[in-house]
A = this chain, B = another copy of it.
Amino acid sequence: MRVNLSLNQIVQELGGTVSGEGELEIYKVGSLALAQQGAIGFFNNTKYTAQLNNTHVSAVIIKPEHKELTSLPKIITDNPYAYFAKASQLFNPILETASGIHVSAVVDPDATVPNSCSIAANAVVGASAVLGERVVIGVGSVIERDCTIGENTMLEANVTIKHGSRIGVHCHLFSGSVIGNDGFGYAEEGGDENAKHWVKIPQVGNVVIGDHVDVGANTTIDRGTIDDTVVEDGVKLDNLIQIAHNCRIGAHTVIAGCVGVAGSAIIGKHCKIGGAAMILGHLNIADDVTISPGTMIMRSIQKSGTYTALMPLQEHSAWLKTAVNIRQLSQLTERIKALETAAADAKNINKI
Contacts and interface: CB of A to CB of B under 8 A. Distances in A.
A262 B305 CA distance: 22
B299 A308 contact: no
A258 B278 contact: yes
Interface in A265-300: 269-270, 275-276, 278, 280, 287-288, 290, 292-299
Contact of A332 (B29, B144, B316, B333): B333
A42 to B, nearest CB: 9
A262 B293 contact: yes
Given A276-B296, A313-B308, A257 B252 contact: no
A227 interface: yes
Counting chain B CB atoms within 10 Å of each CB, the highest count among A318, A323, A349 belongs to A323
Interface in A171-200: 172, 174-176, 178, 181-182, 184-189, 193, 196-200
A178 B293 contact: no
Among A184, A278, A316, A347, the most chain B Cβ lie within 10 Å of the Cβ of A184
B254 A239 contact: no
From A216, A236, A275, residue with most partner B Cβ within 10 Å: A275
A85 B187 contact: yes
B276 A278 contact: yes
A196 B270 CA distance: 8
A352 interface: no
Interface residues of A, number: 132
A181 B239 CA distance: 9
A50 interface: no
A288 to B, nearest CB: 8
28 contacts: A34-B227, A102-B106, A106-B122, A142-B157, A144-B157, A157-B162, A160-B175, A175-B178, A176-B218, A178-B239, A181-B217, A196-B252, A197-B212, A218-B220, A238-B242, A242-B258, A258-B260, A292-B319, A293-B296, A307-B314, A308-B314, A309-B314, A311-B311, A312-B323, A322-B330, A326-B326, A339-B343, A343-B343
Which 4 residue pairs across A and B have the least CB separation, nearest first? A82-B189, A325-B329, A306-B316, A294-B296
Contacts of A29: 226
A101 interface: no
A238 B332 contact: no
A340 interface: yes
B199 A82 contact: yes
A312 B240 CA distance: 25
B82 A188 contact: yes
Contact of A262 (B31, B217, B275, B312): B275
Contacts of A73: none
A325 B330 CA distance: 7
Contacts of A321: 329-330
Contacts of A333: 325, 328, 332
A206 interface: no
Given A175-B160, A181-B216, A181-B217, A187 B325 contact: no
A299 B322 contact: no
A121 interface: yes
